[in-house]
Chain A
Amino acid sequence: MKKRRKANTAFRHTGAFWLFVLPSLGLFALFFLLPLVLSIWFSFTDFDGWKKMNFIGLQNYAKILTDSSFYLSLGRTFIYTIVNLPFKVAIPLLLAALVTSKKLKGNTAVRTMIYIPVLFSSLVAGITINWMFSQEYGLVNFLLEKMGMTPLEWSLNPTLATVVISIASNWVSAGYYMLLYVGGINNISKELYEAASIDGSGKAHTFFHITVPLLLPTTFIVLLLSTVNLLKEYALIQGITLGGPGTSTTYIVQYIFSQGFDQYKYGYASAAGVLVSIVFIIIAAIQFKMTKGGGEV
């Protein structure tokens, strides 16, 4: 009797597992995996999005792999990602520490103000950032001028243009990751903090020796998500620098669009997309391994 029940249970759980997963998996297969397979097929053709679709073998791949601007934009993407990663983690973490502090009065208002930029579409976020950093009529340059300083060439200097994109990117994501950290901090038990304060541990000490290590799982998620999102940065750039000056903010997805989709070269774009996806998957796999899959801590 007991034995039979055990066998049934195992079966029941496999069934239950698939039932729970099925809605997501089904939709995912239909609207993501199937298009993915289609795109891989497109990548071996000269598909123009509508009328033309001939099999051309590896021509698209050969062309991309000999295109120096492909490597240049990929390189720029990596630099942009690496430089921005520390900010993507540190700023939200500090903001979360701030808004969960008992000593912050009116923390709802503070939290809301920090979070609101996250709610913006890339289109509106781009417009807003432009309004601040436009070289000619932007508020920042106006204030610099008012204070007797030289206005900065936000759209002419490649470094400054990258700075503007980075500010924009952090501006729209800081609140998002902050929220993940707030969840993490709230999960840390109060007793731990009480114990720490009884031990006479200082605030900074508690933060770095208790809060930060315990937030490691959250940090892994933030790292993973922001790496991928930085590598994929596109819509925001379209609203701010359009990849310029010259090509200095043209990152890899931008490359795929300007060399592919924008010219109806869907085959070429798909091939570039496949290559880029492979690179992204490798990067994420390494990161995933290093952080043990978001940590079963």
Chain B
Amino acid sequence: MKTGKHIGSTIAITVLGFFIAFVIFFPIIWLTFSSFKPRAELFAYPLHLLPSKFNFDYYASVVNDGLFIYMKNSLFLAVVGTLITVLISASCGYALAIYRKEIPYVNKVFAVFLLGTLIPGEILTIAQFTVVTDMGLYNNIWGCILPVVTTTTGIFMYRQHYMSIPLALAESARIDGASEFMIFRKIMLPLGYSVTVTLTIFSFMWRWNDYILPLMLLSDQSKFTIQIAIKSYIGTMAVDWSSILAASVLSIVPVIILYMILQKYITGGLAATGVKG
């Protein structure tokens, strides 16, 4: 009797879960199928989900326009940017959490970083551009990376996480003679891996989707990023929808792959790390 009820609710929840997921995911299916439609079919009423035949022409043409080169550039931006972001956010968030009891001004330092989320970044673009070019980083991918690697969200996430870890853990390591850096590197960094995985996904996606700074800074076509390339299909006079759709679909593949690889570690038994707040 009890098992029957259990199976019943399992089925109900599973059906509900897939239904919700489908509703959320459906626009993407729609977008993807549309990208295979011949141009004339895109706006043809009545609408059909499936194209009359799968047409790869627009994919071929955007690849021909150099899409993979732009994806490669974005990949560099995203990978390097993410590595730096994870490292510096982890150490910063860790320090803000672990020394909060013994150093009085820690929370003031944290408040400075909070400015980073409160002020709409778009407003600072021109001033940022001035600073970056004055440093000689014009037309240099590093000019697109360095200004954006500090993320308040990342620091915040690590800070919250390390605040849930008892200070006693660090204290006992100190008694064993470990240096502050060793404590961070050997004990704390591995303990923060759940945040690391999450931040890696976030950061990769942010960098992959960066637009305005790369646009202003990069001047060689061969250094352009994927978002600049997609935008260039929106002309003032006409919008090349077919190319935009194809390029958009291709542009999301790498982030989806990364998410699929990492997402199982987000679930992976966080509760089993042995320490809790």
- Which residues of A approach B to under 8 Å, CB–CB? 9-10, 12-14, 16-17, 19-21, 23-25, 27-28, 30-36, 38-39, 42, 49, 95, 98-99, 101, 103-124, 127-129, 131-132, 136-137, 139, 142, 146, 171, 174-176, 179-180, 182-183, 186-190, 217, 221, 224-225, 228, 232, 234, 253, 256-257, 261, 266, 269-270, 273, 276-277, 280-281, 284, 288, 293-294, 296-297
Contacts and interface: CB of A to CB of B under 8 A. Distances in A.
A136 B201 CA distance: 36
Interface in B243-277: 244-245, 248, 251-252, 255-256, 259-260, 263-264, 266-267, 269-271, 276-277
Interface string B91-114: 110111001001100110100111
Contact of A182 (B116, B153, B267): B267
Contacts of B160: 217, 221, 294
Contacts of B96: 21
Interface in B2-17: 6, 9-10, 13-14, 16-17
Contacts of B156: 221, 294
Given A24-B113, A114-B25, 5 more contacts: A24-B91, A38-B131, A116-B259, A139-B30, A183-B270
Contacts of B119: 36, 273, 277, 280-281
A189 B259 CA distance: 26
B240 interface: no
A224 B227 CA distance: 28
A268 B184 CA distance: 46
Contacts of A39: 123-124, 126-127
Nearest to B110: A293
B94 A114 contact: no
Q: What 7 A-B pairs are tightest by C-beta distance, nearest first?
A: A273-B123, A20-B95, A35-B127, A121-B209, A31-B147, A16-B180, A38-B127
B266 A183 contact: yes
A142 B123 contact: no
A28 B109 CA distance: 12
A31 B184 contact: no
B187 to A, nearest CB: 14
A273 B128 CA distance: 14
B128 A35 contact: yes
A111 B263 CA distance: 9
B46 interface: yes
Given A106-B18, A186-B271, A31 B180 contact: no
Contact of B109 (A25, A115, A176, A280): A25
Given A113-B22, A137-B43, A183-B270, A121 B147 contact: no
Most buried by B among A225, A232, A297: A232
A25 B124 contact: no
A218 to B, nearest CB: 9
A240 B109 CA distance: 38
Interface string B9-43: 11001101110111011011011001000000001
A266 B132 CA distance: 18
Nearest to A279: B118
B33 to A, nearest CB: 10
B47 A139 contact: yes
B86 to A, nearest CB: 11
Contacts of B14: 103-106
B52 interface: no
B139 interface: no
B194 interface: yes
B55 interface: no
Given A21-B109, A127-B244, A110 B18 contact: yes
Contacts of B201: 179
Contacts of B113: 24-25, 28
Given A98-B17, A277-B118, A270 B94 contact: no
Nearest to B9: A103
Nearest to B124: A35
Contacts of A113: 21-22, 24-25
A133 to B, nearest CB: 9
13 contacts: A27-B150, A32-B116, A34-B127, A103-B6, A108-B267, A113-B22, A119-B252, A121-B251, A124-B230, A175-B24, A183-B270, A228-B118, A294-B156
B163 interface: yes
B146 interface: yes
A142 B46 CA distance: 8
Interface in B119-169: 119-120, 122-124, 126-128, 130-132, 146-150, 153, 155-156, 160, 163-164
Nearest to A182: B266
A103 B95 CA distance: 39
A103 B10 contact: yes
A24 B88 contact: yes
